Amino acid sequence: MAQINVQNTKITVLDIDNKDYICLTDMAGAKENDVRAADVIKNWLRNRYTLEFLGTWETIHNPGFKVVEFDHFRKEAGLPTFVLSCSEWIEKTNAIGIVVKKGRYGGTYAHKDIAFEFGSAISVSFKLYLIEEFQRLKEEEQKQIGWSAKRELAKINYRIHTDAIKQNLIPPKLTALQKSFVYADEADMLNVAMFGKTAKEWRDENPLLKGNIRDYASINQLICLSNMENLNAVFINDNLSQSERLEKLNKIAIQQMTVLENVDGRKLLIESKK
């Protein structure tokens, strides 16, 4: 739930099924007092143009909209005896653009498209200010989402950094045996250069874990692996043997992971000072 202030009138905005619905009852209170707000909505709803608008909106957005029932209301719209409540409109046509809520935040709500149209029943200036304030609300929400995302990323960076310390993410130097061994799979050669072991060796060491060694790699390790794959392609074009490529890639992996982990450390230091 959120609220916007339109010409000194507080308007409630609800999230319903991940869509923004604006309180028509609050909006109607800007034209009449709260007691007569329901009458303002009823008078607006019985208008032929309003029904045409609502019917078109529902046809576009609502596969379950009952067109036959809508046609019945449309034929009667504008007659002196025609009266239609929001609850009846929803019940008879299976409409989703308007929602009547009871209890906390009770009132009649409409999808923002419909609420903006209802704003015309209040006044032109009210409608324009409503749109402006709603857009401002959405911009503030986006800023909040961006801030939350940065906060979550900072937490992830912190977790990666602490895990790096625990797991010793800097690749180990290759043994003489590893340097001389010929790996049938180029991907396994990269695994050895990065993790110091083949995919099979990792599975043998972790029989209870699902997936493969790369599924459990940190973001920094995956960045480094991507760089190594590109460099390996260059080394292959240069006709370097697999043992030569393995030794070069291992040195590069150690160097890059050291840099990446140090960068994370500096970021955490800056965040802690803030």
Amino acid at 225: L
* Angle, CA of 133, 30 and 1, to the nearest 5°: 50
Q: Which of 162, 34, 21 is nearest to 95 (CA)?
A: 21
The pLDDT-based confidence of 268 (bands split at 50, 70, 90) is: very low
Give residue 152's pLDDT: 62
Please answer whether residues 236 and 225 qualify as being in contact, where contact means their C-beta atoms are separated by less than 8 angstroms: no
Query: DSSP 3-state assignment of 66?
Result: coil
CB 13 within 8 A of CB 20: yes
Q: Is 240 exposed, middle or buried (0-12, 13-18, 19+ CB in 10 A)?
A: middle
Looking at every residue in the chain, the average pLDDT score rounds to: 82
Give the domain ranges of the chain: 2-144, 168-273
Rg (CA), the chain: 32
Give me the mean pLDDT over the 233-258 stretch: 87
pTM metric for this prediction: 0.53
Q: What three-state secondary structure class fits 94? A: coil
Contacts of 58 by beta carbon, 8 Å cutoff, 6+ apart: 65, 70, 93, 95, 96, 97
Side chain identity at residue 15, one-letter code: D
For the chain, what percent of residues have pLDDT higher than 70?
84
**Whole-number Å distance between alpha carbons of 93 and 87:** 10
pLDDT band at 183 (very low <50, low <70, confident <90, very high): confident
Integer Cα distance of 204 and 139 in angstroms:
51
Taking the C-alpha atoms of residue 82 and residue 109, their distance in angstroms, rounded to an integer, is 22
Lookup: tokens for 253: 């992996």
Structure tokens at 66: 């009952």
Q: How are the residues of the chain apportioned to helix, strand and coil, as percentages rounded to the nearest 5?
A: 65, 10, 25
Contact present, 54 and 95 (Cβ < 8 Å): yes
Examine the pLDDT at 261 and tell me if it is beyond 60: yes
Instruction: Decide if 100 contacts 108 (C-beta within 8 A).
Output: yes
Cβ–Cβ contacts within 10 Å for residue 183, how many?
Answer: 17
Tell me the C-alpha distance between 7 and 133, whole Å: 10
pLDDT tens across 186-238, in order?
888 888 888 888 888 989 998 888 888 888 888 888 888 888 888 888 888 88
